[in-house]
Amino acid sequence: MNKLNIKGSNLKNFKKYGMILTLVAIIIFFQILTGGSLLKPLNIANIVQQNSYILILSTAMLLVIIRGTVDLSVGSICAFIGGVAAMLLVQKQLPLGPVILFLLLLGAVIGAWNGFWIAYVGVPPFIVTLASQLIFRGLAIIVLDGQTIGPFPNQLRAVSSSFLPGIWVNSIDLLSLFVGLALIAFILLSRVFARRKSKKYGIPVRKLWIEFVEALFIIIFIGFLIFSFATFQGIPSVLVLLGILIIIFSFLTTKTTVGRRIYAVGGNDKVAMLSGIDTKKYTFMIFVTMGFIASVAGLVYAGRLNAGSPKAGVGFELDSIAACYIGGASASGGIGTIAGTMIGGLIMGILNNGMSIIGVAVDWQQVIKGLVLLLAVAFDLMSNKKKQ
């Protein structure tokens, strides 16, 4: 039994650090090919803002994938939410606050629609979400009458395109530096306390040098990111929203009974049901959450585009699914982390950005991204076979 635990732990560490090394390798590769343009502060801010809606979608898509399925409708939901936003805010000139609340509720209702058919009627998730993809793409076209409608109020645009007002001294934003240092301190202290707690209760801990190397990577990564923001225009506003969602979903998946039950349902729904878990309820909740987060991503994207477009959100579902799989989520369900998903999303985002800078054609970009996704899933399947 101990040998199996050690083997599983080693495989988990290999996948985790393999993702980090892959991210570092891709950054170095494109930094060289772009002549240093990739890591310029302007481009780093662009990467964050251009991929924010995919990373936002990925936080909830991870729950869907942990459940053992995927949601193909989220891109169309984003387009539909953006279309309704354009109709209400631009054409009807309604106040922003009530409209946003209505759209967030609408996203949750759409998620409940998917969840009802999947959890309580028993229609396969692939069929339900594929049908919803077609339905809400059609509704987006109907709502917008096939046109792109804008511009949106400045407050909505600010969420995805603005920067936090900083404290500037000699062209350096002290607020960004303070936030970065506070974040690093919080992460490091959390890891120290978690290690002490594990030792106290006799739970095995990793070797100290592994903890040190991982902490060093975190310091370098966050430090470089924050310094880039501090020397450019400050922290992107959308990064605050993404950070809040990361904290919420990380806490949900690692610290709550609900999170543990979601993993249990994804790992083996029959065993979970026999254990007294209402698998239908949790499946329904997952898709309600996915619909809500899709509406958030749809609003962020609409704000960045500054218009509602019937073509918005095309491919969003594939990018968010790819971020989860590349980040270590298992195609068979029951496995995945928010941290890994964010790394996977960054890998996809840097691939997109780097290939665009060096002039790789869009069709070849799709080919490369498809191969990366295929290799990630194949690696997961081979890993699962080795554990058996």
Render pLDDT for 40-98 as a digit per residue (tens, 0 to 9): 988 998 888 888 999 999 999 999 999 989 999 999 999 999 999 999 999 999 999 99
In a domain, 170, yes or no: yes
Provide the H-helix boundaries in 67-161: 74-85, 96-115, 125-144, 154-161
In a domain, 328, yes or no: yes
Contact 118, 128 (CB under 8 A): yes
Least confident of 23-32, 124-133, 311-320, 326-335: 326-335
DSSP string, 296-328: HHHHHHHHHHTSB-TTTTTTHHHHHHHHHHHTT
Query: How many domains does the chain contain in total?
Result: 2
SS3 assignment, position 236: strand
Is residue 12 pLDDT above 60, yes or no?
no
Phi, psi dihedral angles at 163 (to 5 degrees): -125, 150
- Cα 170 to Cα 220, 232, 306, distances in angstroms: 23, 12, 33
In a domain, 154, yes or no: yes
In a domain, 113, yes or no: yes
In a domain, 1, yes or no: no
Task: Judge if 179 and 158 occupy the same domain.
Answer: no
Long-range pairs, 356-359, Cβ under 8 A, ≥24: 357/30, 357/34, 357/37, 357/38, 357/43, 358/30, 358/33, 358/34
Task: Judge if 82 and 178 occupy the same domain.
Answer: no
In a domain, 122, yes or no: yes
| Residues of the domain holding 366 | 49-162+257-388
pLDDT band at 129 (very low <50, low <70, confident <90, very high): very high
Distance CA(298)–CA(184), nearest Å, equals 31
In a domain, 179, yes or no: yes
In a domain, 30, yes or no: no
Task: Judge if 176 and 264 occupy the same domain.
Answer: no
Task: Judge if 384 and 334 occupy the same domain.
Answer: yes
Contact 79, 148 (CB under 8 A): no
Which residue is it, tokens 């590349």? Answer: 326
Task: Judge if 148 and 208 occupy the same domain.
Answer: no
The structure tokens listed for 101 are 């609340």
Which residue is it, tokens 């930094």? Answer: 31
Distance CA(191)–CA(194), nearest Å, equals 5
Per-residue pLDDT reduced to its tens digit, 262-295: 999 888 888 888 888 899 999 999 999 999 999 9
- Cα 46 to Cα 138, 166, 215, 346, 347, distances in angstroms: 31, 18, 26, 12, 15
pLDDT for position 3: 46
Taken as a whole, the chain contains a residue count of: 388
The structure tokens listed for 309 are 């477009």
Long-range pairs, 136-142, Cβ under 8 A, ≥24: 136/73, 136/76, 136/77, 136/79, 136/80, 136/110, 137/76, 137/79, 137/80, 137/310, 139/80, 139/83, 140/76, 140/79, 140/80, 140/82, 140/83, 140/310, 140/312, 141/83, 141/310
Mean pLDDT taken over the chain:
88
pLDDT for position 385: 59
Task: Judge if 208 and 333 occupy the same domain.
Answer: no
Distance CA(103)–CA(1), nearest Å, equals 51
Torsion of CA 53, 58, 59, 63, to 10 degrees: 150
Task: Judge if 324 and 190 occupy the same domain.
Answer: no
Is residue 388 pLDDT above 70, yes or no?
no
Is residue 302 pLDDT above 90, yes or no?
yes
Q: Which of the listed ranges 28-37, 115-124, 372-381 does the model predict with the highest average pLDDT?
A: 115-124
pLDDT band at 13 (very low <50, low <70, confident <90, very high): low
Task: Judge if 171 and 150 occupy the same domain.
Answer: no
Is residue 377 pLDDT above 80, yes or no?
no
What average pLDDT score do residues 219-247 get?
91
Task: Judge if 326 and 348 occupy the same domain.
Answer: yes
Task: Judge if 154 and 182 occupy the same domain.
Answer: no
- The DSSP secondary-structure symbol of 145 reads T
Cα 364 to the center of its chain, rounded Å: 24
Phi, psi dihedral angles at 236 (to 5 degrees): -60, 135
Task: Judge if 98 and 219 occupy the same domain.
Answer: no
In sequence order, the β-bridge partners of residue 173 are: 168
pLDDT for position 105: 97
SS3 assignment, position 168: strand
Cα 326 to the center of its chain, rounded Å: 12
pLDDT for position 171: 87
Task: Judge if 186 and 147 occupy the same domain.
Answer: no
Q: Which of the listed ranges 113-117, 144-148, 157-161 does the model predict with the highest average pLDDT?
A: 113-117
User: What's the longest Cα–Cα distance across the chain?
Assistant: 65
pLDDT for position 100: 95
